[in-house]
Amino acid sequence: MGIEYSLYDPIVFNILYAILRLFASVLCLHNSTRFECDESHGLVMITSTAISLMMMSGVPFPEFWVRKMRSFYVIFDRDLDGLVQREDYVDWPVGRANKNMTPEKAESLYGLVSSAWDVFWAGEEKRKSVTIDQMVKEHSRTFDTQSSFHESLEKWLEICFDDVDANDDGCITLEEYTTFLKCYGVHPYSVTPSFEALDTNHDGLISKEEFKNAGRDYFKVTADTPAKLFWGPFRA
């Protein structure tokens, strides 16, 4: 009887990861316009390829990535009924934004989260409520190289940064990030660890690049990285 190997087995996955990492390095050397050859992007690209193979094989998603999705989901499931309604995802944070942000920024945030619900949560069925399993499945499109998820996420992060940057000076202060996370129910006392995690050069400010890198890594990288604090305390 032959030995059966699972792609989800740690040994097999690590071998696959090493092969993909070598392959990615070659691609970076020969196609610098398509792939950014920094460590962060390399991890994203390799992980996406590996997870795409996993999806085709029908194996479970990596545990820590699922935990990140679960941590994000519970922000909105405030009544603990196992469902996130559109009102939970859109109206609740926007209502808080109206109290904590300028009218212009709050209006922009409304458009941002409304489109995010349609693109990242509602799916082709145009759901009005979403379970955790449905949410995980929708967000797993980030690993599908044929999906527009990545481009949509990049645009979302670009606009989101501008909304958080209250005075439009091109960077985010601790006060501005506190205001943003307050819209999602994060207590001001809990924001500093998240801010420090995003401020990778430790200059006391979050640049657009730092913000987008953390937001991208939250949804695309399966490893345990500081980006897990993008939405405040890790809840899962």
Q: What pLDDT digit, counting tens, does each position of 194-218 carry?
A: 999 999 999 999 999 999 999 999 9
Positive or negative torsion for Cα 88, 102, 230, 187: negative
| Domain of residue 217, residue span | 62-228
How does the average pLDDT of the chain come out, rounded?
Answer: 83
Name residues whose C-beta falls within 8 Å of residue 58's C-beta, 6 or more positions apart in sequence: none
Domains: count for the chain: 1
Which CATH number belongs to the domain containing residue 71 in this structure?
Answer: 1.10.238.10
Say if residue 41's pLDDT is above 50: no
Residue at 192 is within a domain? yes
More confident residue, 211 or 25: 211
Angle formed at CA 49 by CA 43 and CA 50, multiple of 5 degrees: 85
Say if residue 34's pLDDT is above 70: no
What is the residue whose two structure tokens read 């509602």? 122
Q: Of 189, 114, 128, 118, nearest to 159 (Cα)?
A: 114
More confident residue, 60 or 92: 92
Residue at 149 is within a domain? yes
Residue at 51 is within a domain? no
Give pTM, 2 decimals: 0.77
Residue at 129 is within a domain? yes
Residue at 53 is within a domain? no
Residue at 153 is within a domain? yes
Residue at 127 is within a domain? yes
Residue at 46 is within a domain? no
Residue-level pLDDT at 37: 39
